[in-house]
Amino acid sequence: MSPAILKIALDVPLDRLFDYASNGQSARIGQRVLVSFGARQKIGIVMDIAHATDIAPEKLKPVLQVFADEVPLSAELLNLLKFSASYYQYPFGQALLSALPTRLRQTAPALARKQFLYRLTEVGRLLDVTQMPKRQRILRQIMAALQVAGQLTEAELSNLSTTARKAAKSLVDLGYAMAEQVLVPPRVAAIGVAPAPVLNDEQANAVQTITQQMDIFKSWLIYGVTGSGKTEVYIRLMQHALQHGNAQVLVLVPEINLTPQLEARFRNRLPQFSLVSLHSSLSESDRLHHWQLAQSGAAQIIIGTRLAVFTPLPHLKLIIIDEEHDGSYKQQDSMRYHARDVALVRAKRLAIPVVLGSATPSLESWHNATHSKTSVNKYDLLTLKKRAVSAAQLPAIACIDTTKVNLQHGLTPQLVTALRSRLARKEQSLLFINRRGYSPVLLCSACHWIAPCLRCSSRLVVHLGQRKLRCHHCGHEQKIVQQCPSCGNADLHPTGHGTQRLEQTLAQLLPEARIARVDRDSISRKDALVEILDQVHRGEIDILVGTQMLAKGHDFPNLTLVGVIDTDSALHSPDFRASERLFAQLMQVAGRAGRADKAGQVIIQTAFPDHALFHALRSQDYETYAHAMLAEREMVQFPPFVFTALLRAEAHEYPTVQQFLDDAFQHARSLNHAVTVYDPVRPKMERLKGMERGYILLHAQQRAVLQHVLTALVSALRTHKLAAKVRWAVDVDPLAF
């Protein structure tokens, strides 16, 4: 038989496979290999194995190394990534390699956390331990233990003696034992199972309904108000899925900050099942180790952020997507996939259920659950309208008109009074402002100059503690200027409020209060957020000041007041999803109040208290507001009633972008008149990180028609004369335009 030719996917911006000679090395599909590519060496994945026909193997470069000791990627995962790369119009090789842990993308062998497992050889099993010299006490002890147990891990050896591991190697040298390298198993909690709370009628109905159909593909949307016990429903479903034989459950969460508390709760309630987490805060070694435990099937519960949707899971039986509405599930660079949508595709292919949960479902999901042109909706809807704690009631929401009161350093008198009353009652409060830093603007009182970022179409934010002006888009920093560069005036004022200024204001107004700030600046240190949350639970903090990091998922029994500062900018945003995001955000943050037996109150400061969004929020009527927003979307033909894509482009000079987009516009319009192609435009932030930006919007009534046009358009643009000068990408199903 002629020598094998390996077709290999590489992390390069070309949508093709590359041929290499096997060079006598045995390889399997999905195997990791090392090859030379140009002047460099790269990691690739074997996608196919052919035999020489018209290509002489000696004319091909040979594979340098096959990592034969690693488990190949499964056909199921490779096919899922093929689909994703095709749908999101991204080179397959880049999509495939980016889904792997960093250690598996490096040319060095991937070192995982492994240990040795010791077993007796045939000679060892026949050996009479009593005949061994008495001075070899440790060896005799190990041999006796092996003859009883059959095998011992390194950890078990260490329990026998501090020198047992070294002694075990001597037994291997003597031929009495053999050592096999295995993965360190995931930690299983040694504690007893925590008592399960009694489910209310709505929770019990949700659990019973889903568990009756766990062996088929079905999409369930659990719409539950904040505090309604969605997590307890997840736990019961996980327990049901895992109790029968080999099984794995994938739980997706939108942000890293939510993984520690979910992990702790799952370990507490399901200690008998092995659990690992997958997110970017893990070290490279830990991420590889957890990924390999998932790939081997040793990990039964996998909690992760969006990239975890591509984790190899041989025994996957259930997918849960918490806070499914959250925009963090959408990747905003490289392959712009949406983890929720990929998870639905994966579940359908595996014929397993997928459960989506939210207090404010995305309009796409709500539409899939409540609007149907056929007799069956795409999702089955389950509702939880009562809080899980019987004494807990939804908080009372009030909107304070900031145009009719005198603000005290940005705070209304009503909010300050409410804060003081909570302090007197030894209850906790949360102030939500989605703007970090001290002040969003440094303003000249004379000529109204505002400190700009020279690399972005944005303003520099004042960080007073560091005496810095900082751009929150590109990271540019500079010292705070002492006088106006435009007119020379030295009277420069920080204008507006950020988390730092609000923290300072509260310290002046309420000096007796213990205040903690939670934003990206304050929790940059590892475990900083966990420490702050522990302080909250221990009652060591009176007032939390924070951004959207605190808006969802957290459960503070003694927190009874939520104050919302400065949300009005989103009410009149050009982004068609802005009001949807704001409503979800405010509902989520309001849900932090009154989750136990103490009544909760929410005070929102706004100049537009009569806005329809606030009317819906005060009555906590998501359903009516969602239907109203969907009616608007249908009227103007926005998603989910049409399918959209953006062609984004950027370069150092805008004329280059303009020419590239003009050519793309003309070509796209010629491909299919069923796809509407809009003229090239510039985004609100025209310049970002020194790059001039523009985009084209395409939309169609049918997904397949849009995909056909995008495939042809992308193929043409890859050979465009300006392709090397323009950084461009296609964003299918964009969240914003």
Q: Is the pLDDT of residue 365 over 80?
A: yes
CATH classification for the domain delimited by 4-105, as one of 3.30.70.20, 3.40.1440.60, 3.40.50.300, 3.40.50.2300? 3.40.1440.60
Counted residue by residue, the chain has a size of 737
CATH number for the domain whose boundaries are 114-183? 1.10.10
Who contacts 429 (Cβ-Cβ below 8 Å, separation ≥6)? 418, 419, 422, 542, 543, 544, 559, 560, 561, 562, 563
Q: What are phi and psi of 393, to 5 degrees?
A: -115, 155
Say how far apart CA 293 and CA 289 lie, in whole Å. 6
From the CB of residue 609, how many other CB atoms can be counted at a distance below 10 Å?
17
The better pLDDT of the pair 181, 638 is held by 638
Q: Which whole number is the average pLDDT over 700-714?
A: 96
Q: pLDDT tens digit string along 430-460?
A: 998 877 777 788 888 889 899 999 899 999 9
Q: pLDDT tens digit string along 20-36?
A: 998 888 889 999 999 99
The better pLDDT of the pair 114, 721 is held by 721
Q: Quote the tokens at residue 416.
A: 């300050």
Task: Give yes or no on whether 201-384 and 396-439+496-632 have one common fold.
Answer: yes
Judged by average pLDDT, the poorest of 159-173, 400-414, 679-693 is 159-173
Q: At what angle do helices 528-537 and 259-269 cross, to 10 degrees?
A: 60
**What's the half-sphere exposure (Cβ side, CA atoms, 13 Å) at 633?**
22
Q: Is the pLDDT of residue 118 over 90?
A: no
Q: Which CATH superfamily is domain 396-439+496-632 in?
A: P-loop containing nucleotide triphosphate hydrolases (3.40.50.300)
How much is the pLDDT for 372?
Answer: 63
From the CB of residue 388, how many other CB atoms can be counted at a distance below 10 Å?
22
Q: pLDDT tens digit string along 274-314?
A: 999 999 888 888 899 999 999 999 999 999 999 999 999 99
Q: Quote the tokens at residue 205.
A: 């109905």
How much is the pLDDT for 173?
Answer: 84
How much is the pLDDT for 388?
Answer: 72
Q: Quote the tokens at residue 328.
A: 């963090």
Q: Which whole number is the average pLDDT over 555-583?
A: 84
Q: Quote the tokens at residue 114.
A: 């492994």
**What's the half-sphere exposure (Cβ side, CA atoms, 13 Å) at 736?**
16
Instruction: Identify the CA nearest to 49 among candidates 84, 25, 79, 77.
Output: 25
Tell me the average pLDDT of the chain. 88
Q: Is the pLDDT of residue 193 over 70?
A: no
Q: Is the pLDDT of residue 713 over 90?
A: yes
What CATH architecture does domain 201-384 belong to?
3-Layer(aba) Sandwich (3.40)
Taking the model in full, what pTM does it have?
0.87
**DSSP sequence for 381-396:** EEEE-S-SSTT--PPE
The sheet with strand 316-322 has its strands ordered as 275-278, 301-304, 248-252, 316-322, 353-358, 218-224, 380-384
CATH number for the domain whose boundaries are 643-732? 3.30.70.600
* Buried-state track 43-61, b at ≥16 Cβ within 10 A, e below 16: bbbbbeeeebeeeebeebe
**DSSP single-letter state for residue 420:** H
CA geometry: angle 448, 453, 456, nearest 5 deg: 125
Q: pLDDT tens digit string along 469-501?
A: 999 889 899 999 889 999 999 888 888 778 888
pLDDT band per the 50, 70, 90 thresholds, residue 466: confident
Q: pLDDT tens digit string along 164-175?
A: 878 888 888 888
How much is the pLDDT for 533?
Answer: 83
Q: Which whole number is the average pLDDT over 346-353?
A: 97
Q: Is the pLDDT of residue 369 over 80?
A: yes
Say how far apart CA 309 and CA 303 lie, in whole Å. 10
Judged by average pLDDT, the poorest of 318-332, 460-474, 639-653 is 460-474
Q: Is the pLDDT of residue 407 over 80?
A: yes
Q: Is the pLDDT of residue 523 over 80?
A: no
The better pLDDT of the pair 92, 107 is held by 92
**Domain spans, the chain:** 4-105, 114-183, 201-384, 396-439+496-632, 643-732
Q: Which whole number is the average pLDDT over 60-87?
A: 93
Say how far apart CA 495 and CA 582 lie, in whole Å. 23
Q: Which whole number is the average pLDDT over 252-263?
A: 85
Q: Is the pLDDT of residue 335 over 90?
A: yes
